[in-house]
Chain A
Amino acid sequence: MIVMWRRRSAHETTIEKLPIEIVNRKSKIVNQMKTLTNNLRLFWQGALLSYIALFHWMRPIQYAASKILMPLAQMFFFVYLGTYATSADNRSFYIIGNALQIAAVSGIYGMTMSIGGDRDNGTLGYIFGTPANRLVVFMGRAFMNIMDGVLGVVIAFFWGVVLMGLDLSSTNIAALALIILITTISTCGLGLLMGCLALITVNVMFVNNFVYFLLLIFSGANIPLASLPAWIRAVSYALPLTRGIMAARSLVNGATLAEIAPLLWGELAVGMAYFVLGYVLFKVFEVVAKRRGTLEVF
């Protein structure tokens, strides 16, 4: 006869000796920790895999063309147009505006394709079928696009300095980095909302392109907000990018971080509002799609 003696672990021994309330509290904490770990894993895996999946059709050369050269060419176009319209002295106005506008490439297109792509590729049903925390799934999709967007804006500023003579010598670079990060986050908030709309519309690229190009007008990247009609200004302030661009211009013109802080808080608040709206819509579309059986109906 073989007997397998198992030595009691210290944990088991301790639990037996503890009163039941403490045991319950402890197991609750363990469960919470497990949930947190699972959610963190889900967040990271979701972020990484959705980003890799986004590029299943995109080779490095396409990435360079779409994410580096296209934004650069667009920036050049509007800088030349702006300096032709006004004067070469206003160059920095257009460089800063259009460099930050690059955040919308990842924010709008990247986010929409990360979320809407599930529907196109037939994986939406599986996502809705899992018990995974929807908020974590949602945020995971945004994370890599935020990082990618920040990189895009940094590259745009680099081109602005090297090729177009943007002077950042007296600019607080750390503060500028903070503006770039916050503006990209808020733009991704709008992208999440667009992504949710992509779940219910066939013409995803129409919506994407439309919003992206409208931002060129409404964000003040190319037209001073003061010269726009009041109703457009009202819309502008309800959109991401607007305050971020204003903050960056003020910073480059010599303002301190404390002076532009209200603009940054405003930008962050706008972005968060879009994130929340996007998340709520995601939940609503999930319920409606499940009830009507229209999960992947185009």
Chain B
Amino acid sequence: MNIRSLAKYWRTVLIVAEMNIRQQMMDGFIIFTVLFQPIIIALLGLWMLKDKGADAAVFVVVGSGLTGLWSSLLFISGGSINFERWTGTLEPLVAVPTPFDVIVFGKNLGNVIQSLISMVVGYFVASLIFGYQLEIQQPLMFFASLLFTIIAFISFGLVIAPVFVMNPNVRAWQNAMEFPVYILCGFLFPVLLLPKWTNPVSWLLPPYWAAVALHGTSTGGAPLNATLFAWGMMLLFSLVDLFIASRLFRLMLHKAREDATLGME
């Protein structure tokens, strides 16, 4: 996938994202993943960290939203190609003139956007149930971080989806990949608590940089340099992911056509 095809097919991307959201709003599993699970985690976190004050509450709201984003990426974006396969729509989608990776980009955009709802709901839970006056310390920087996060998560999802399709053995680890990323990326507690040898693993994960940027700007606890560096890392990872994804999609479709296994698992 390249930026040029995104610019050319931006209208398709938006329509796919819209259709994806509409369709998924009827699925109980998806509603749970993007909405209820992050809210329950937010409730748990707010209760557990209530002695740490309002700063911790902002941290929990943002962190639980990130858990929703990651779970959505892992389970929904990760399975976005397989979903089309199960419903028998994979062949027509591959056959249409729009590049297939553009379509999956649109689906991932829809997933990420609907996952952000959990952050908004978490904010209201913290305000209404726990009575916190939550304030985002650097609003502009926070929304810019959110934009970089969306791009980083979509790009990461574009790598995960074909990997899961081509390697059922990797997909088998899907259930085991959810909480390790919550831990390694410091969604709800600082990674400083973890053993030092885990830090390089965290640095290789785009969600870690998203957490650094979003936590830093929402609590105002991070210096500008740290936020800018996190943005840079998210951008870098996005470009690398898009490059890898373009190769993976080509390989996946070539293999599927060669082996005539497009609709088969």
Residues of A in contact with B (beta carbons under 8 Å apart):
59, 61-62, 64-66, 69-70, 73-74, 76-77, 80-86, 202-203, 205-207, 209-210, 213-214, 216-217, 222-223, 227-228
Asked if B259 CB lies within 8 Å of chain A CBs, one says no
Instruction: Note all chain A residues with C-beta closer than 8 A to B44.
Output: 81, 216-217, 222-223
Q: Which of B28, B169, B179 contacts A77 (CB 8 A)?
A: B179
Instruction: Note all chain A residues with C-beta closer than 8 A to B31.
Output: 206
**A80 with B28: CB separation less than 8 A:** no
Chain B's closest residue to A58 (CB) is B172
**A70 with B47: CB separation less than 8 A:** no
**A203 with B29: CB separation less than 8 A:** yes
Asked if B52 CB lies within 8 Å of chain A CBs, one says yes
**B172 with A65: CB separation less than 8 A:** yes
- 7 residue pairs, one from A and one from B, having the closest CB atoms: A203-B28, A206-B28, A73-B179, A69-B176, A65-B176, A84-B189, A85-B48
> Contacting chain A: which of B2-10, B35-43, B120-128, B204-212?
B35-43
Instruction: Note all chain B residues with C-beta closer than 8 A to A69.
Output: 173, 176
**B29 with A206: CB separation less than 8 A:** yes
9 contacts between A and B (CB under 8 A): A61-B169, A65-B174, A65-B175, A65-B176, A80-B193, A84-B190, A206-B31, A210-B36, A217-B43
Q: Tell me if B's interface is mostly helix, strand, loop or mixed.
A: helix
- Docked CA distance A6–B33 (Å): 72
**B40 with A77: CB separation less than 8 A:** no
Instruction: Note all chain B residues with C-beta closer than 8 A to A222.
Output: 44, 48
**A202 with B28: CB separation less than 8 A:** yes
- Determine which residue in B31, B37, B47 has the highest number of CB atoms from chain A within 10 A of its CB, and name it: B47
Least CB distance from B190 to A in Å reads 7
- Docked CA distance A86–B175 (Å): 28
Least CB distance from B125 to A in Å reads 13
Q: Which of A65, A81, A206, A228 contacts B32 (CB 8 A)?
A: A206
Least CB distance from A142 to B in Å reads 23
> Contacting chain A: which of B180-188, B216-224, B247-255?
B180-188
Q: Knowing A202-B28, A206-B32, A217-B47 touch, does A77 contact B182 (C-beta < 8 A)?
A: yes
**B193 with A83: CB separation less than 8 A:** yes
**A77 with B183: CB separation less than 8 A:** yes
**B48 with A223: CB separation less than 8 A:** yes
- Docked CA distance A82–B183 (Å): 13
Instruction: Note all chain A residues with C-beta closer than 8 A to B178.
Output: 70, 73
Q: Which of B43, B174, B183 contacts A80 (CB 8 A)?
A: B183
Instruction: Note all chain A residues with C-beta closer than 8 A to B183.
Output: 73, 76-77, 80
Q: Knowing A65-B172, A85-B48 touch, does A73 contact B37 (C-beta < 8 A)?
A: no
Interface size classification for chain B:
20 to 34
Instruction: Note all chain A residues with C-beta closer than 8 A to B36.
Output: 209-210, 213
- Docked CA distance A207–B28 (Å): 9
**A223 with B176: CB separation less than 8 A:** no
- Determine which residue in B40, B48, B169, B190 has the highest number of CB atoms from chain A within 10 A of its CB, and name it: B48
- 20 more A-B residue pairs beyond the given contacts A73-B179, A83-B193, A216-B44, with a C-beta to C-beta distance below 8 A: A59-B172, A62-B175, A66-B176, A69-B173, A70-B178, A73-B176, A80-B194, A81-B45, A81-B189, A82-B48, A85-B51, A86-B48, A202-B28, A203-B28, A205-B28, A209-B32, A213-B37, A216-B40, A222-B44, A222-B48
Instruction: Note all chain B residues with C-beta closer than 8 A to A227.
Output: 47
Q: Which of B29, B41, B169, B173 contacts A205 (CB 8 A)?
A: B29
- Determine which residue in B44, B178, B193 has the highest number of CB atoms from chain A within 10 A of its CB, and name it: B44
Q: Knowing A210-B32, A222-B48, A223-B44 touch, does A80 contact B176 (C-beta < 8 A)?
A: no
Instruction: Note all chain A residues with C-beta closer than 8 A to B176.
Output: 64-66, 69-70, 73
Chain B's closest residue to A83 (CB) is B193
**B40 with A70: CB separation less than 8 A:** no
- Docked CA distance A41–B94 (Å): 52
Instruction: Note all chain A residues with C-beta closer than 8 A to B188.
Output: 77, 81
Instruction: Note all chain B residues with C-beta closer than 8 A to A77.
Output: 179, 182-183, 188
**B48 with A81: CB separation less than 8 A:** yes
Asked if B14 CB lies within 8 Å of chain A CBs, one says no
Chain B's closest residue to A205 (CB) is B29
Least CB distance from B173 to A in Å reads 5
**A80 with B172: CB separation less than 8 A:** no
- Docked CA distance A65–B177 (Å): 9
Q: Knowing A62-B172, A203-B28 touch, does A217 contact B40 (C-beta < 8 A)?
A: yes
- Docked CA distance A223–B40 (Å): 13
Instruction: Note all chain A residues with C-beta closer than 8 A to B262.
Output: none
- Docked CA distance A263–B44 (Å): 25
Instruction: Note all chain A residues with C-beta closer than 8 A to B43.
Output: 217
Instruction: Note all chain A residues with C-beta closer than 8 A to B29.
Output: 203, 205-206, 209
Least CB distance from B49 to A in Å reads 5
